[in-house]
């Protein structure tokens, strides 16, 4: 089993008077595929930003294999790949050139970089667009490039934030298949509003409501029948 363990210990985050996360206690095991669920404003994005080290907690600790994302964010960032709902790519760069740049940023050079880029182009079926500018790609191809850059350096942790929003059914299936291929070899944290996607890709999940952790356990159990939807509707029940 590969991947990293992600652990939140008494994790809280405030923005002025607003509490975005409140005393989260959560462990995601190494190699686990885990869904983080909740309505808009539930605290999912805040949690992700703390994991990646781009946001610090107000209280508590977030550890990635024992490394604090607050004290050593660069060490954590070296271990992860990130796929977002909107592909934050460089529109003027051509696909192959962009992947080469990413390889360099990730510390790959020479033959290692060439092999990694070639493998990414093959894995995500980008041969037909390798010389095309990213800004001219369809959303489906742009999301494939986003996946390629996230997995280029074989990270032990992948965070996917609404990775299939706006894609057609075929594109959605392709992205889900790409994420599923890493099951057991890396840790996946999937943030999604698509409960079917969570069921398909993850074994365990947690539900956030108004910054509080209201449920955690096997995905099939948490999302059985209307249970998942009922948890989403509890947005206003957590105390401020």
Residue 171 is predicted with a pLDDT of: 85
Q: How many residues does the chain have?
A: 240
Give percent of the chain above pLDDT 90: 68
Tell me the whole-structure pTM to 2 decimals.
0.90
| Confidence check: pLDDT of 190 > 90 | yes
Last residue of a domain, one of 132, 154, 176: 154
Average pLDDT over residues 70-91: 87
Average pLDDT over residues 65-89: 89
More confident residue, 230 or 47: 47
pLDDT grade, residue 232 (50/70/90)? low
| Confidence check: pLDDT of 234 > 60 | no
pLDDT digits (tens, 9 = 90+) for 113-125: 999 999 999 989 9
* 167 class by beta-carbon count within 10 Å (0-12 exposed, 13-18 middle, 19+ buried): middle
| Confidence check: pLDDT of 236 > 50 | no
Q: What total number of domains does the chain contain? A: 2
Average pLDDT over residues 153-178: 89
| Confidence check: pLDDT of 238 > 60 | no
The CATH number for 50's domain is 3.40.50.300
Structure tokens at 23: 């005393």
Last residue of a domain, one of 138, 154, 170: 154
pLDDT grade, residue 48 (50/70/90)? very high
Residue 166 is predicted with a pLDDT of: 82
Please, what is the angle between helix 110-123 and helix 95-105, to 10°?
130
Compute the radius of gyration of the chain from its Cα atoms. Answer: 18
Residue 99 is predicted with a pLDDT of: 96
pLDDT grade, residue 239 (50/70/90)? very low
Residue 183 is predicted with a pLDDT of: 80
Q: Is 160 inside a domain boundary? A: no
Range of the domain at 208: 1-79+186-240
Report which of 142, 238, 232, 157 is spatially closest to residue 193, judged by C-alpha positions: 232
Asked whether the beta carbons of 57 and 11 are under 8 A apart, the reply is yes
| Confidence check: pLDDT of 240 > 50 | no
Structure tokens at 88: 């934050």
Same domain, 65 and 84: no
Same domain, 232 and 113: no
Same domain, 6 and 71: yes
């Amino acid at each position: 089993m590969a991947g990293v363990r992600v652990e939140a210990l008494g994790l809280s985050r405030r923005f002025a008077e607003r509490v975005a996360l409140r005393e989260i206690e959560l462990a995601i095991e190494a190699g686990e595929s885990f869904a983080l669920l909740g309505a808009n404003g539930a605290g999912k994005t805040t949690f992700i930003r703390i994991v990646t080290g781009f946001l610090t907690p107000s209280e508590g600790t977030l550890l990635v294999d024992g490394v604090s994302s607050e004290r050593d964010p660069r060490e954590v960032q070296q271990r992860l790949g990130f796929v977002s709902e909107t592909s934050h790519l460089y529109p003027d760069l051509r696909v192959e050139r962009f992947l080469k740049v990413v390889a360099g940023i990730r510390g790959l050079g020479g033959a290692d970089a060439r092999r990694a880029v070639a493998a990414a182009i093959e894995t995500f079926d980008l041969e037909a667009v390798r010389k095309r500018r990213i800004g001219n790609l369809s959303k489906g191809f742009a999301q494939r490039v986003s996946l390629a850059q996230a997995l280029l350096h074989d990270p032990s942790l992948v965070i996917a934030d609404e990775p299939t929003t706006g894609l057609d059914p075929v594109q959605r299936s392709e992205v889900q298949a790409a994420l599923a291929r890493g099951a057991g070899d890396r840790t996946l944290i999937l943030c999604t509003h698509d409960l079917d996607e969570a069921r398909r890709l993850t074994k365990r999940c947690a539900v956030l409501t108004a910054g509080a952790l209201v449920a955690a356990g096997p995905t099939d159990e948490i999302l059985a029948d209307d249970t998942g939807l009922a948890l989403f509707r509890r947005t206003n029940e957590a105390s401020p």
